[in-house]
Amino acid sequence: MENTLLVGLSRQVALSRELDVVANNLANMNTTGYKADGSLFEEYLSSKARAAPTDSRVSFVQDRGVWHDMSQGALDRTGNPLDLAIDGKGYLVVQTPAGQRYTRNGALKTDATGQLVTSEGYPVLGDNGPIVFQQTDHQVQISRDGTISVREGASNADAARGHLRVVTFANPQQLQKYGSSSFTAIQGAQPQPAQDAGIIQGSIEQSNVRSVVEMSRMIEITRSYTQVAGILQQQGDMGQQSIDKLADIPN
Amino acid sequence: MRALSTAATGMMAMQLNVQVIANNLANMTTTGYKRQRAEFTDLLYDHVTRLGTQTAAQGNMLPVGIDLGSGVKTVGTPQLMTQGTLSPTGNAFDMAIRGDGFFKILMPDGTYSYTRDGSFSTDGQGRLVTAQGNLVQPTITVPQNSSGFTVNTQGQVSVIPVGTTTPTIIGQLTITRFINQTGLLPIGDNLYTETPASGPPVDGTGNTDGAGDVMTQNLEQSNVDSVTEITNLIAAQRAYEMNGKVISAADQMLQTTSQLSR
């Protein structure tokens, strides 16, 4: 009988974890470059079941992982020259004090020294390190392959300022979310130069959270939770009844 | 329950987003106003099981981990320094900059601030001032009874003094550029001040070294696009609502649990 309670409890714990994931997705509905998460569950078999000679196994549910939905988010046209979106599979490389991070959030800025940085001030890397603009640079053009050119001063010719490093991974699930719309690669996951990714200047990639899906998942979670609670309730009642009946000493 | 606080961060972020959009819409017709954009990133993750953890001595690795996010945070509300539309006014003292750069303004406390709003006029002494009466730098005094006030694209100011027919140059407006315009601090009255993030001001003249052209008899309208703002407003409002629903869902689950024990 305790098994029923514990199986129900395992389901409720898993459901509340799943709600946490849904809540995080919905909170990041408007976060540039955010990738939605999904929960993975697995059956956990326990052979320690008691008082069940015919079927000695009880299956619990366990949340085993959170996977990232790496599909393309919608492109939002902003017209801002330092807003970049990546069309296709690829990530910009960001140098942080903790090492390289990978992001699809292309709302970039320049800092006081003219370096191309993220909203948090970390330099975005080109093929040869950070990309630095000169004081008199204007009309920044970023081509689809990531080449950055500017007009310097009164010159009418394009001056090159570098080439953005865009990388991809053989298995994107080997990326771990780091916060700040960026990912870290686990040991062994090597970034490869992206082949089929294009940079689109003047646009940013919106989050790929599909609100309708998240809302329906949320309803599913609350309903399942209530159902499991119902079963637990019945189990409790059964226990109560048996105590009442068995303890009822006839006069 | 983590979902409660996660959804609360979502609601707070959307509230800030609506605030930014409201300010943009309120300044839709403010001369030289640059629209702001609220930028968000996801908050830290709780790595419950780490991706890539070895599960067996053979070197098997977990293909996915459990990372529970804790919501959203605002990183900044930068101004988007894109060009606003120029609208002709016919007034000789109205100026706009087509391209990069700011007019340099002397504040009453002796510091400088910078503006894209070129709706200038002259004060009692004939000096060129902003709508708030602050001096445009360098100080340009328009001689009395002179006529034909013009400014060329480089920012050279010329007038035809009384009694003559040829224009004389009476001054050169400073056009200041910053390496990081987004890093300027808005202080109201259409003015910006220098910050450590913007980099030092680089004074120059119009149409040189990357600075834009000075367009006289024009004013730069705000770069707020009402359609974009309204769609953003709808998105923000819906996102707020949905985060609210998450809170009620979490609340409902907690309620279910609390009703279990009688």
pTM: 0.84
Q: Does A97 touch chain B (CB under 8 A)?
A: no
The single-letter code of the amino acid at A100 is Q
The tens digit of pLDDT for each residue in A100-130 reads 999 999 999 988 888 999 988 899 999 988 9
Q: Do A177 and B6 touch (CB under 8 A)?
A: no
Q: Which residues contact A31 (CB under 8 A, 6 or more apart)?
A: A105, A181, A207, B40, B41, B42, B72
**Of A24, A177, A203, A213, which to mutate for an interface test with B (greatest number of B Cβ within 10 Å)?**
A24
Q: Do A151 and B199 touch (CB under 8 A)?
A: no
Torsion on CA atoms B169, B170, B172, B173, rounded to nearest 10: -130
Residue with tokens 């003559």: B164
Whether residue A154 is predicted with pLDDT greater than 80 in this model: the reply is: no
Residue with tokens 């609360």: B8
Query: What residues of chain B lie within 8 A of the CB of A41, using their CB?
Result: none
Whether residue A54 is predicted with pLDDT greater than 60 in this model: the reply is: no
Is the complex ipTM more than 0.85? no
The tens digit of pLDDT for each residue in B178-232 reads 888 888 999 988 999 999 888 889 898 888 877 889 999 999 999 999 999 999 9
Size of interface A-B (CB pairs under 8 A): 224
The single-letter code of the amino acid at A174 is Q
Whether the Cβ atoms of residue B184 and residue B192 lie closer than 8 Å to each other: yes
CB atoms within 10 A of CB A70: 16
**Burial zone of A106 (CB within 10 Å; 0-12 exposed, 13-18 middle, 19+ buried):** buried
Q: Which residues contact A167 (CB under 8 A, 6 or more apart)?
A: A90, A91, A93, A102, A191, A192, A193, A194
Shortest Cα–Cα distance, B127 to chain A (Å):
30
